Amino acid sequence: MKRIAIIGTGYVGLVTGAGLSDFGNKVICTDVDREKIDKLKQGQVSSFEPGLRDLVIRNVDARRLSFTADVGKSVQESEVVFIAVGTPMADNGEADLSAVKETARTIGQNLNDYKVVCTKSTVPIGTGEKIRSIIQENCPQDNGFDIVSNPEFLREGSAVKDFLIPNRVVIGSDSERALKIMRNIYRPLFINETPILITDIVTAETIKYAANAFLATKISFINEIANLCDATGADVHVVARGMGLDGRISPKYLHPGPGFGGSCFPKDTQALVHQAENLGVELNVVKAVIEANEAQRKKVMEKLDQLIGKDLKDKTVTVLGLAFKSNTDDVRLSPAIPVIEDLLARGAEVKAFDPEAMNNMRVLFPTITYCDSLNLAVSEADAVIVMTDWHEFRGMNLEEVARRVKHKVLVDARNILNPRELKRLEFKFQNIGRPNVR
């Protein structure tokens, strides 16, 4: 068992802290946001993530997990310090490392013994060395430490499972002492024969960005194939299945839709391109992925225009789904945002429903109408747009929807509804890459 401090109690930090404590380590999660810490002490987990609250409460009750706003003290009392603060996208596309740098300064100022300093935040390639330099500059005495890169590969909506049963763990370090400690922390996964990839720091940092960029590439690729299917009459779902059966490709992330959003793919692809350009390297494929995603976000409104026309003044349009994906309340860079912006700019009255994300979207759009249920949202609507693939939407009663709407106009941007049923109920509808009903 190791004594661990997690600095940053956002999505990554809290999942990491709760997960590591579940492995038997004694973990203290710390944050400069005292209000957030106070809520966590009361058992309140601010973000929606299936299984996370139960995981937190279980380990708090077992006295393996605790919370504090005293960052310095948590560093002093720990053997391993994880940096899990946010690295949002700056205006120029690069990652904003201000929180990471401030955290490194705090670690240096409170270094009272040998410690492993582990970067869990998604950071640009080469950040490990910057962290090392900042800690050295701020260390009051000659206390040893080692830097480790341990990138996260958590999917929002299944983060707890991804942490407790990962498909791999990447640990980057140039210190055998640090690697021994990290192996001990992740010992339960070694027993389960989880692949543990040991490498140097810069390679570990690169793996994180490369993985996210490749997954984003798969999404943009299948979206472009879906657009081709719209023109040819082919069914993109059958095409994707035919591709995915090839073991070299796999079916994962071959799901057409309105483009990727969230806190990772948009930010990480932009940051990777920005850093590569600074190094004189052209990442033409990743640039194309970003451009294709921006173009895809416009397809939803283009399809609505085909059904109802461009004049939306005094029309009521219902948006079903505000989170960037199902099983999360995260609306950061959600594809629903530009759709709502366009609807409002063109004079539409916007109604919305999402099982979890409405409070977060209210911060961005306080004046649209948020409904307590799907049925209330679609009532008297001139058009309905499905933007998120919640199970509740997959199983919606289309006959009930047909009775409630003013006009039977629907854009299924996630391809989760039955086209034959829509046709039987005389809906005018559009999908993504499924133009014909056979």
* Rounded (5°) CA angle 122-23-12: 20
Q: Which residue has the tokens 């490990």?
A: 128
Instruction: Find out whether 55 and 93 touch, Cβ atoms under 8 Å.
Output: no
The answer to whether 316 touches 406, Cβ cutoff 8 Å, is yes
Q: How far apart are CA 118 and CA 83, in angstroms?
A: 6
Residues 3-20 as b/e (b if ≥16 CB within 10 A, e otherwise) read ebbbbbbbbbbbbbbbbb
Q: Tell me how far apart the alpha carbons of residues 392 and 354 are, in angstroms, rounded to a whole number.
A: 9
Q: Tell me if 330 sits within 8 A of 362, measured CB to CB.
A: no
- Quick one: CA torsion of 425, 426, 427, 431, rounded to 10 degrees? 90
Which one of 118, 229, 264, 371 is the catalytic residue? Answer: 264
- Lookup: tokens for 209: 């960005």
Tokens encoding 99 = 């929180």
Q: Is 284 helix (H, G, I), strand (E, B) or coil?
A: helix
Measuring CA to CA, which residue among 58, 44, 59, 12 is closest to residue 163?
12
DSSP characters for 88-120?
PBPTTSSB--HHHHHHHHHHHHT--S-EEEEE-
Report how far residue 243's alpha carbon sits from residue 378's, in angstroms, rounded to the nearest whole number.
36
Strand partners, 65: 27
* Token pair recorded at residue 124: 């640009």
Residues 6+ away with beta carbon under 8 Å from 172: 128, 148, 149, 150, 198, 199, 200, 201, 202, 203, 204, 205
Q: Which residues pair with 369 in a beta bridge?
A: 351
Residues contacting 2, CB < 8 A, separation 6+: 25, 26, 79, 80, 181, 184, 185
HSE-up of residue 312 (Cα within 13 Å, Cβ side): 26
Q: Is 371 an active-site residue?
A: no
CA distances (Å), origin 89, targets 13, 127, 295, 395? 18, 15, 20, 36
Give the active site residues: 264
